[in-house]
Amino acid sequence: MKHHLLDAGVVLAYLLAMLTLGWRLSRRQTSTEVYFVARRSIPPWAVGLSTFATLISSITFIAYPGSGYAGNWSELVPGMMVLIVLALIGTVVIPFYREAVGVSAYEYFGRRFGYGVRAYAGLAFIAGHFSKMGFVLYLMALTASSMTGWNLYVLLVGIGLVTLMYTWLGGLEAVIWTDVIQGLLMWIGALVVLGLLLSMIPGGPEAAVAHAAQADKFELGHWRFDPADARSFWVMALYGFFWYLQKYGADQTIVQRYLVARTHKEAFRGIALGAALCVPIWTLFMFLGTLLWSYYELTGQALPASLHDATGQIQADKVFPYFLTTHLPDGLAGLFIAALLGAGMSTLSSDLNCLAAVGVEDYYRRLRPDASDSARLQMGRLIVLAAGVLATSIAALIAWRGDRVLAFYYAVTSIVSGGLAGLFLLAFLSRRANRRGVWIGLGTNLLFTAWAVLTRGSDPWIDLGTYNYPWSGVMIGILGHFIVWIVGYLASLCFPADPGPAWTVWTWRAGQYCAKEPTGRKGY
C-alpha cells in the first residue's frame, strides 16, 4: 500500500498536538491533588467528553462495524445498559463517592471491610485494566498499519511513546483535555465515513436500510433466555448491566472522574453527558457495519482473498479497515486514522493515570505512610512510566509471537478481576455484611471463575469432560457478581457484625458520616 504524505501529515500533526498539550500542562503538576484529580476543577462538559472517550476504545472502531457486518445488532445491547445503570444509581453513587473517598475508589472498600479487601479490589482493577492495555495498543497499531502500510512496530512504539509522554507530563489534566480532542475526533471521523458510505450505495440510504432490514440485520438478538447463547437479548442485557454497574460503582477510571468536577451536580451532569454520547457512537459504528454489508451486497463487489480465513469465511473485523483503505481519499484517511488512534490513546492514558493513582493511594501510602506529597507524586510518575513501557512491550510481543502467547495471562487476570460489582453491592447496600463473609464470597468467586475460564470452549486449558463450564463466556462475569454478593451476604450471617458503623448508602443518607472536602487521607 502506498504511503500518503497528506495522511501522514494529519496523523503527525495530531500526535504533536497531544504531546504539546501534555508539555504545556506539565508545569502545573506540583502535587498529587493536581496529578490525580486535576484540582477538582474540571467543567462538566469536559468531564462528559473525557468519560465518553475513556469508554470508547479502538476496539469499538473495529469490533462494532465487524459485528454489524457479520450479524445483527445484539452486540449493541450491553451498551444500552449504561443509561439504565446511570439512571438507577448515578444520583446516589456520585455524591457518595465524592464524600467518602479522596482519590481511590478502593478507599471505600477499605473503610467498609478493612485494608485487605481494599488491596484485593485494587489488585482486581489493576489486573483487569492492565491485561487489556497491550491488546488495545496492538489492535490500534495493527489497524493503522493495515490501512497505510506503515511499519507495525514503528506505529506501536510511536503511539505508545506519545501516549506515555503526555500522560507522564500532564497528569489527569492532560488525560482529560486530550480526551476532549479525541472525543471530538471520533465523532468527526465516524460522521465523515457515514456520509461517504451513504453516497456510494446504489439506491441511497433507503435501499441500504431496506436490504438490511429484509435480512434481519437490525435485530437485537432473540428473546428467549438461554445462558449458553450470547445472542440472547436477556443474556447480553444482564452482561451489560453488571459490566456498567462495575464501571460506575467500582472502577477507578470512572470514579476518578466523579472527583474532578467542582460540585456534585456538575459531576453528575458530566458523567450523564458521557453516557449519553456513548450510545449514539456505538449505534453509529454498528450502523456502519450494516451499511457495509448492504454496500457489498448491492454492488456485487467481491472481497479479496486476504479477508478470508483458512476455511474460506470472511473475517468480518477486517472488512471495515479494507473499505477505508480502498475508498477514503487522502487526508480523510489520515483524519480517520487520527480518530482511531484517539480512541485507543484515550483509553490507555486514562488507564495509566488511574493505575498510578491506585498504586500510590492503595499501596505506596500503606508502605510509606509518612511519605511527603512530593514523594508520592514522584512515585505516581514512576508508575506511569513503568506501566507505559510494559504495555508497549506487551503489544510488541503480541505482534511478534501472536496473541496466543498471552492468552493464558489474560485468562488468569480475568479470574482475579471478577466480582467487583458484587463486592460494591454487598458493601453499598448491606449493613449486615462483614469482612469475613466478604472474603468467603470473594474466595468462592475465585474458585468458580477459575473453573469456568479454564474449562470453557472447544479447546479449554483444562478439559474435565462433562464437568466443563457449559454456558456462554459472558455469563461468567454475571454469575461471579452474584456469587460475591449472595455468598458474601449469607456467609456474613454466620459471623458477628464488624465493630463500628457500617459505611453503607443507608448510613450516608442518614447523615452519619459526611466529609465536605475529601482529603484522601482516611481509611488507613
Find out whether 192 and 284 touch, Cβ atoms under 8 Å. Answer: no
310-338 burial: b if 16+ Cβ within 10 Å, else e:
eeeeeebbbbbbbbbeeebeeebbbbbbb
Are 119 and 178 in a shared domain? yes
pLDDT value, residue 2: 45
Give the integer Cα–Cα distance in Å for 63 and 316.
9
For the record, the C-alpha cell of 290 comes out as 450494516
Are 11 and 64 in a shared domain? yes
Asked whether residue 21 is domain-assigned, the answer is yes
Are 345 and 443 in a shared domain? no
147-160 burial: b if 16+ Cβ within 10 Å, else e:
bbebebeebbbbbb
Q: What DSSP string describes 358-421? A: HIIIIIIHHH-TT--HHHHHHHHHHHHHHHHHHHHHHHHHHHHH-GGGGHHHHHHHHHHTTTHH
User: What percentage of the chain's residues is helix, strand, coil (to nearest 5)?
Assistant: 75, 0, 25
Give the integer Cα–Cα distance in Å for 488 and 120.
15
Give the integer Cα–Cα distance in Å for 459 and 270.
44
Final residue before a domain boundary, out of 391, 426, 460? 391
Are 60 and 89 in a shared domain? yes
**How deeply is 245 buried, as exposed, middle or buried, from its count of CB atoms within 10 A (0-12, 13-18, 19+)?**
buried
Asked whether residue 522 is domain-assigned, the answer is no
Are 375 and 412 in a shared domain? no
Are 347 and 430 in a shared domain? no
What predicted TM-score, i.e. pTM, was given to this entire model? Answer: 0.89
CA 245 to chain centre: 13
Domain tally for the chain?
2
CATH number at residue 241: 1.20.1730.10
Final residue before a domain boundary, out of 339, 357, 391? 391
Range of the domain at 297: 5-391
Are 387 and 405 in a shared domain? no
For the record, the C-alpha cell of 277 comes out as 454520547
Give 115's Cβ-side CA count (13 Å radius).
10
For the record, the C-alpha cell of 51 comes out as 468519560
pLDDT value, residue 321: 86
Give the integer Cα–Cα distance in Å for 361 and 518.
13
Final residue before a domain boundary, out of 391, 414, 440? 391
Give the 3-state secondary structure of residue 12.
Answer: helix
Asked whether residue 523 is domain-assigned, the answer is no
Find out whether 265 and 252 touch, Cβ atoms under 8 Å. Answer: no
206-233 burial: b if 16+ Cβ within 10 Å, else e:
eebbebbeeeebeebbeeeeebebbbbb
Are 33 and 134 in a shared domain? yes
Find out whether 58 and 140 touch, Cβ atoms under 8 Å. Answer: yes
Q: Which residues of the chain have pLDDT under 50?
A: 1-3, 404-406, 512, 515-524
Give me the residues paired with residue 503 across strands.
Answer: none
Asked whether residue 145 is domain-assigned, the answer is yes
Contacts of 511 (CB under 8 A, 6+ apart): none
| Sign of the dihedral defined by the CA atoms of residues 320, 326, 329, 335, in that order | positive
Are 356 and 420 in a shared domain? no
Are 11 and 44 in a shared domain? yes
Give me the residues paired with residue 308 across strands.
Answer: 314
Give the integer Cα–Cα distance in Å for 187 and 339.
8
Are 14 and 84 in a shared domain? yes
Asked whether residue 201 is domain-assigned, the answer is yes
Contacts of 218 (CB under 8 A, 6+ apart): 72, 73, 212, 290
Left, alpha or beta for 463 (phi > 0: left; psi -120 to 50: alpha)?
Answer: beta
For the record, the C-alpha cell of 158 comes out as 510511536
Asked whether residue 396 is domain-assigned, the answer is no
For the record, the C-alpha cell of 313 comes out as 469465511
Are 427 and 383 in a shared domain? no
Phi, psi dihedrals of residue 369, rounded to the nearest 5°: -65, -20
